[in-house]
Chains A and B, each alone.
Chain A
């Protein structure tokens, strides 16, 4: 989408693109420099600064001049939702429509803004709860509907997402936790067998997990739960989502973590 003229698109699409890129570059919780956004979106730094100020005013980011921007809780939530739609669409275009890997990104960029929540959910069912998108193997964030597991989502198939309602909290996959961070298990993605195995090991809804070690090269993670230490392979850990338990609130008021 680098060669596109963003000016002709509607404001909300424009905002979503910014949030998406901020989410990707910040890995959830790091300050992103204006210049970095500028190169990634291929937009002049001046325009980026202006947009960041606008986003700051809307409460989506915290912008500090000469330093860059960081997503707020609200911004993070919106960013995740757009990113999720984007990555689900990529997966759909690649796996189902058999479109070439190089082309799915741009196509998904165009489609993501108009995808409804119900369509997003249907896509997730169709793709059988995917956890990684095809082009860069990035994690697909959890949905924003207030389900505790995919089983529940399947069982309440007849209800529309509006009836289900949205989650109050921002969910983080445990692979995005930093060492010694803690979270409360709120959602497990995956089929019943995985959920059963995890529950037997003490990873039940509401249980507190703390991150011990993260092996490099997309290796497993080591967590502590209910007094025991467990190693979870990345494919499983990807799918365990927690609500972050803040140890100390960040002093600049921005999200402690995404």
Chain B
């Protein structure tokens, strides 16, 4: 349990100067983030939970002269599958003790959402229920009696349509009211509404009484821990066992008792009971007036249709690609033109050190700008639309089978598509996958994907100077390599792949402010990562070049570059500069030999240089994000795999091409 104590002490995640802390909790896709954005406006920060790759969003809200700290917990369905999101959430609630938890529910899927509500109530925390997406429920013909619900749960219930801001004033008012009573009256809240069957309720009580008598002094309420132990929660069992050895053996007997009565594992009995309760509460408070087939249902039938579904999915993927390429290429052209006075490597090496440094740093800045503005931002905007509308889940549904071939499931398609634009946001978005293993597999495949910079190299070296067909062939080669490397990685990292279990929430149109906000938050975190790397890296490489270090290393590399790959001697320097940004290979080449590159290289050399340039190393910023997401070891392995592949494939081509061309 050391980890959780660490979290609790971490200064980043405690907020001392706020009057109240409100936490938002609920299932994924219920509109929590929309509410969060409405409440906090621009005063928010998005980072990671300490030591975890789970996004942590928090912000500030000024309401009635109170300074309120708002935190958006990850969207989860329960506290029992031990995913990182679930553990982060329950540790936060237990250790940081927010003044009130706003539990956001999707009005159109009340029963399933209440299953989580019941688990929050078990934690004996002050709560307000927010029934969101009342409009979608209405479209589906569901009417919810919030007063009845309030009575059944014993918790204030506020109906909202967050996307239009409806009901949010009342929500925050109610949350504040609950927070204030909480501050005055610190006793834990025992919700009467949740009651299991007699045989279970008795056992929970027996276990709780034993725990009470043992003085465990743990931050979780004893009753909640008793429930978790009966559910066979390994983490809570260890925690309790470390305080007192008597409890777990006793609990085991109780667990056996439950299993004897129900002929089912105790956790399954508890889950069934919770759902039974959720069903009772939901059906008491909602009326299905009539079953309406909405437009969204009809659209859904097309999107997941065994035939049309593939067409629509392909359209989404192609659309995303074209959008990034066309928009990206267009904006990139403008920026490059505007900054054309700048040359990446100044052939005159007589300048002073500050000028050289400035030159390099500025080069890095340009590299950063031409990455973020043309490629990252447009991609994120469209991705946000696809993601929030629910289109993404439909595409993942259709593409699941194909992704299985490389050990991933349908959702992994998204990071891979992103990889065609830029590896950096692509690797960032592997977070949508469940396990580290899957994220690594996806990230590994992405480092081989033909990103925009690779495309530029292929196009400008091969398409222009050899032929468009060779350029296309290299593109296909890259796809084959991704597939082969994906298979190899799967062999190297065996393990059970998480199967797809994904909610297909109702389709809806995301609002523009929400999309832009999400885009900005995502871009911002990349800016902090990419610009320092580019600027510092650019300056260092420039200095190394001027000092002749690059030439020196380049010369050391001649057995490889000239001997094995059959390239001119200066290729070593090109490849070293290309580490910062792949386009530098091209730009430096131009500065060396002028615009007619065919004077310096043969067709064979163009193709080999393009292959090596395309594969040989993830660029600096990709390495940066790999380091951030996966640590040093995994990043070095991926980078080495890239290097080795590039030189093997490049060398093979260098030796075969003379017979073909």
Contact = CB atoms under 8 A, between A and B. Distances in A.
Given A199-B268, A233-B500, A233-B501, A228 B112 contact: yes
A226 interface: yes
Interface string A116-154: 000000000000000000000000000000001101100
Interface string A215-245: 1111110100011111111111000000000
A102 interface: no
A226 B279 CA distance: 8
Contacts of A198: 501
Contact of B504 (A204, A216, A229): A229
B450 interface: no
Interface stretch (A39-47, A72-80, A188-196): A188-196
B115 A219 contact: no
Interface residues of A, number: 42
Contacts of A231: 393, 396-397, 400, 410, 500-504
B304 A213 contact: yes
B306 A236 contact: no
Contact of B78 (A195, A200, A228, A232): A200
A222 B304 contact: yes
A205 B501 contact: no
A228 B400 contact: no
Interface in A181-211: 192-202, 204-207
B468 to A, nearest CB: 33
A54 to B, nearest CB: 39
A48 B500 CA distance: 44
A231 B390 CA distance: 13
B499 A204 contact: no
A226 B275 contact: yes
Contacts of B80: 196, 200
A226 B113 CA distance: 10
A149 B268 contact: yes
A214 interface: yes
A241 to B, nearest CB: 15
A194 B80 CA distance: 12
A202 B272 CA distance: 8
Contacts of B409: 233
B272 A206 contact: yes
B114 to A, nearest CB: 10
A214 B305 CA distance: 8
Contacts of B81: 193, 196-197, 200
Interface in B373-397: 393, 396-397
B119 to A, nearest CB: 10
A3 interface: no
Contact of B264 (A205, A219, A222, A227): A205
Given A200-B80, A215-B398, A229-B503, A151 B265 contact: yes
A234 B393 CA distance: 16
B306 A228 contact: no
A200 B502 contact: no
B72 interface: no
B500 A217 contact: no
A215 B306 contact: yes
Contacts of A247: none
Contact of A201 (B112, B264, B306): B112
B85 interface: no
Interface in B491-537: 499-505
Chain B interface residue count: which class?
Answer: 35 or more
Contacts of B301: 213
Given A202-B111, A204-B271, A220 B504 contact: no
A199 B275 CA distance: 9
B562 interface: no
Nearest to A214: B306
B112 A202 contact: yes
A233 B403 CA distance: 11
Contacts of B77: 200-201
Interface string B306-330: 1001000000000000000000000
A155 B504 CA distance: 35
Contact of A228 (B109, B396, B500): B109
B504 A233 contact: no
A157 B401 CA distance: 36
Contact of A220 (B115, B268, B410): B410
Contacts of B503: 201, 228-231
B501 A230 contact: yes
Contacts of B259: 155
Interface in B61-81: 77-78, 80-81
Nearest to A146: B263
Interface string A153-170: 001100000000000000
A151 B410 CA distance: 29
B398 to A, nearest CB: 6
A149 B306 contact: no
B265 A192 contact: yes
Interface in B384-439: 393, 396-398, 400-401, 409-410
Contacts of B396: 231
Contacts of B112: 201-202, 226-228
B439 to A, nearest CB: 17
Interface string B242-270: 00000000000000000100011101100
Contact of A195 (B268, B398, B410, B499): B268
Contacts of A193: 81
A203 B305 CA distance: 24
A200 B110 CA distance: 14
A130 to B, nearest CB: 14
B267 A196 contact: yes
A156 B265 CA distance: 11
B108 interface: yes
Contacts of B398: 215, 219
Contact of B499 (A199, A216, A227, A235): A235
A230 to B, nearest CB: 6
Nearest to B86: A200
B496 to A, nearest CB: 9
Given A151-B265, A196-B80, A219 B271 contact: no
B401 A227 contact: no
Interface of A: 148-149, 151-152, 155-156, 192-202, 204-207, 212-220, 222, 226-236
Interface of B: 77-78, 80-81, 108-112, 115, 259, 263-265, 267-268, 271-272, 275, 279, 282, 301, 304-306, 309, 393, 396-398, 400-401, 409-410, 499-505
Given A199-B272, A231-B502, 10 more contacts: A192-B265, A196-B271, A200-B77, A200-B78, A200-B115, A202-B275, A204-B272, A212-B304, A233-B410, A233-B501
A-B pairs with lowest CB-CB distance, top 10:
A233-B500, A233-B499, A199-B271, A200-B78, A229-B504, A228-B109, A236-B499, A219-B401, A204-B272, A217-B401
11 contacts: A152-B265, A155-B265, A195-B268, A196-B80, A199-B272, A200-B115, A205-B268, A215-B304, A215-B309, A226-B109, A229-B503
